[in-house]
Amino acid sequence: MARFSPLEWPVLRQFRSSDTSGRGESVVSQKTRETTARTTTADKVVQSVCPYCAVGCGQKIFVKDDKVIQIEGDPDSPISRGRLCPKGAASEQLVNANGRITDVLYRAPKAKDWQKIELNTAIDMVADRFIEARRNHWEDFDDKGHPLRRTMGIASLGGATIDNEENYLAKKLYTAAGAIQIENQARI
């Protein structure tokens, strides 16, 4: 804060300037003057798309020190013209709000709580279970002898909130494994 001076009294400031309504420069504090928008100090701005509904509003992701510091609407987008709804405008919290889980958690049969496990261990455990479930419920033929070549032991749900490329790899892997009970939000 600047040193106190009678000349800085708001009413005097207002008279000294042409700010007749008292809502302009005369009421701006030093702190406000020194404040700049996060968006102006970002290291980079990345063009993205809102992850909520299917309108597909353009987003600009402001990044500093490998952290998302702000998300705003993209004025260039012919769909959204820079606008975001409350969800899109709050999406910075989707990234940064407290309590986001960043560890892999495991709950053993009958256990009362989670325990942390290594990502590598978890994927390996899932791969083993994937193979076992696949075999447990494998079906070669129906009762008329028509080939089925499938497993009923594995099901999957979700896809509308992840990327097209991710859906593609998921469906490809499931299908090659013979898993058919693959579904997503479109059925709801």
Partner 1 sequence: MANADCIIIQGSNMAECHPVGFQWVTEAKARGARVIHVDPRFTRTTAIADKHVPIRAGSDIVLLGALINRVLSEGLHFDEYVRAYTNATNLISENYEDTEDLDGLFSGFDPETNSYDNSTWSYQTDESGVAFTDPTLSDPRSVFQILKRHYSRYTPEMVAENCGIKPADFEYLVESVTQNSGRERTTCFAYAVGWTQHSLGAQFIRTASILQLLLGNMGRPGGGIMALRGHATIQGSTDIPTLFNLLPGYLPMPSAGVHETFEDYVAAVGTPETHKGFWANGRSYATNLLKAWWGDAATKENNFAYDYLPKINGAHGTYQTQVRMLNDGVDGYFLLGQNPAVGSANGRMQRMAMSHLKWMVVRDFRLIESATWWKDGPEIATGELKTEDIETEMFFMPAANHTEKAGTFTQTQRLVQWRHKAVNAPGDAQSELDFFFELGRRVREKLKDSDDPRDRPLLDMTWDYPVDDEGEVDAEAVLAEINGYYVGGEKDGQPLDNFNQMTDDGTTAGGCWIYAGIYAGGENMAARRKPRSEQDETAAEWAWAWPANRRILYNRASAAPDGTPWSERKKFVWWDEEAGKWTGKDVPDFPIDRAPSARSNQAHGGPANLDGDDPFIMQADGKGWLFAPSGMVDGPMPTHYEPQESTVKNPLYDQQSSPTRLVMRREDNLSAPGAGNPGSEVYPYVFTTYRLTEHHTAGGMSRWLPYLSELQPEMFCEISPELAAEVGLEPYGWATLVSPRAAIEARVLVTKRMTPLTIGGKTIHQIGLPYHWGVGGDATVEGDSANDLLGVTMDPNVFIQNSKYVAGTIMPGRRPRGPELVDFVEKYQREAGLSPESGNQLVTVSDEVVAESHAAESQASKGGHPHRGGDSAVGVTPGRTFGDEATDSADDRSGRVDLRPTDSIDENSTETVGANRADDGDPTNGDPDRGYIGKDADSAQKGNLGEGARDFSGRNDEAADTNTVDNRGNEEED
Residues 79-138 interacting with partner 1 (rule: CB under 8 A) = 79-81, 83-88, 90-91, 93-95, 97, 99-110, 112-114, 119, 122-133, 136-138
Contact between 12 and partner 1 by CB under 8 A: the answer reads no
Contact between 66 and partner 1 by CB under 8 A: the answer reads yes
Kindly tell me which of 28 and 95 has the beta carbon lying closer to partner 1.
95
Kindly tell me which of 9 and 114 has the beta carbon lying closer to partner 1.
114
- CB-based contacts of 139: which residues, under 8 Å, 6+ apart? 148, 149, 150, 151, 152
Kindly tell me which of 27 and 104 has the beta carbon lying closer to partner 1.
104
Out of 35, 36, 40, 164, name the contact with partner 1 by CB under 8 A. 164
User: Of 3-11, 12-20, 24-32, 153-161, which segment contacts partner 1 by CB under 8 A?
Assistant: 153-161
Contact between 177 and partner 1 by CB under 8 A: the answer reads yes
Q: How far is the CB of 31 from partner 1 (least distance, A)?
A: 24
Contact between 162 and partner 1 by CB under 8 A: the answer reads yes
- Beta pairing partners, 57: none
48 close to 59: Cβ distance less than 8 angstroms: yes
Contact between 169 and partner 1 by CB under 8 A: the answer reads yes
Q: How far is the CB of 12 from partner 1 (least distance, A)?
A: 40
In order of 126, 129, 146, 150, the CA distances from 137 in angstroms are 16, 12, 17, 8
Contact between 52 and partner 1 by CB under 8 A: the answer reads yes
Q: Produce one character per residue of 108-137: b if its CB has 16 or more CB atoms within 10 Å, e if not.
A: eeeeeeeeeeeeeeeeeeeeeebeebbeee
Sheet holding 58-64, edge to edge: 44-49, 58-64, 67-73
Q: Please give the distance of CA 58 from its chain centroid, rounded to a whole number.
A: 14
Contact between 16 and partner 1 by CB under 8 A: the answer reads no
Q: How far is the CB of 96 from partner 1 (least distance, A)?
A: 10
The tokens 């992701």 sit on which residue?
A: 61
68 close to 44: Cβ distance less than 8 angstroms: no
The CB density around residue 155, as the number of other CB atoms within 10 Å, is 12
